[in-house]
Structure 1
């Protein structure tokens, strides 16, 4: 191939643009002075151009290919059961549950939860009594 002992992969890397900057400078300078490497680089350029030219390939696909692809997609693709909003809310609920899981191991938390629930059940009647008392007090003040 070449008598100069330059690695051909460096020429390929130069064409593909994946060569290190220092190696690029070395290869470019070498190609300026070496006739065989310049010829090899020109042949590689033609090969790359030929490989990238899609008009050289005559590809024909059978008509059934679209049907097979559709059937495979239907069979193996996930069927969305929820819309995006529901998925986000589910994730947030799970995150909130996970964030509070440590409370199961803190002493007294379960008992305080029960007390809060009892208080919340009684809250509407307490609010009703207070509001009735406020109405009576307001009437009393207005009557004077």
Structure 2
């Protein structure tokens, strides 16, 4: 789906989180950044993925990682997702899909025989200098931290 690959410069994104705070790639210079895209807040797979990252959050912090979740959900829905699951990282409410499209994760999907456009569950690991270190397209929702921290 995405044309971005390891070694590419990460898109210089700007997005608002659940509290209306602005996040840009520049904000994370000097840190490794995990940007995980998920289809919809509070659905079973997305909850499993976010909670796995939450449960390993201290390991991420100890290794100089920041985590940022992104979906096309509203800020209110993202805020509810955070509160309900005690997520310690911000979630971008990318309703205009500007960040989603910058990373190339919007496109045709199939579910139960129906075709539609949606977000492809994809994670980008970006190094301290804004270069993509890894693109994970086959996300294991219940063991995603292991895929990243290996």
TM-score bracket, shorter-length normalisation: under 0.3
Structure number, greater radius of gyration: 1
The one of the two structures with greater contact order (alpha-carbon pairs below 8 A, sep at least 6) is 2
**Structure richer in helix, relative to its length:** 1
